Amino acid sequence: MPTTDLHFELGRWLQSPVGQQLEARLLAVLPNLSQAWPGINHLQVDLEKALPVKRNVRQMSYAELFSSSEYSPLPGGSLDSLTLMYSLDVAREPHRVLHMADQWLAGSGYLVIVGFNPYSLWGLLRWVMRWFQTTPWKAGFYSVHRIRDWLKVLNYDIHYHTSFGHTPPLERVYQSRLCRPYERFMSWLLPRMGAVNIIVAKRPLYPMTPTRQRLTHLEKPVAGAVAGPTRNWHDKKRHD
């Protein structure tokens, strides 16, 4: 799958003062989610700059993982968890990113999606700023509802959703003494309307819909056999 330069641009933007503040808050939330997850094969996909992660978490860049549509850098079903850091926001075909992630995850694996939230103050600003074609405003900003629809096709349920980053994207605001109290209050008041969404998805323990193969097996009649209710009805008529 061909990549774009947007992941380089967004990776550089995350090194700006405002981007660093977002990353710091993400680091305060993300490790707590994965503490109880089973398995030893965990992968985090970053953009350009690698965030600090736990010791048992591998890291790869977006480019080395999604740059080829013909070669898969990971064996199928090999991951216990996969964290996509803004991968959908910078992808030309975000649904294909999820499809590839599904192939790499084990049956009980966790999929973590970090991305910008259109239903936030930042999402409102994007409608104005995106005309200037600057980062991060030209990122995808996909809603949870849209991501849920993509995940349903792959038979995933969303198990957890939160957000962070309620502060306006201005450096002087982030440096204010009131920034932290304001952020805590808004996180309590509007927990799912922050600038960045964190979504945790997982396959259910049972299939959501019967597969076509199973339906075909159930509907296929056995040669020479008569359905139970029909046979009983004929027997009753004979005795009468």
Q: Residues 39-58: pLDDT tens digits?
A: 888 999 998 756 666 667 88
Reading phi first (left if > 0) and then psi (alpha if -120 to 50, else beta), residue 183 is in: alpha
Domain range 6-212, CATH class: alpha beta
| Tens of pLDDT, residues 77-122 | 999 999 999 999 999 999 999 999 999 999 889 999 999 999 999 9
Across the range 123-144, mean pLDDT stands at: 89
For residue 206, give the amino acid letter.
Y
CA distance 10 to 22: 13
- Check: pTM over 0.85? Answer yes or no: no
Burial 30-69, CB ≥16 within 10 A → b, else e:
beebbeebeeebbbbbbbbeebebeeebeeebbeebbeee
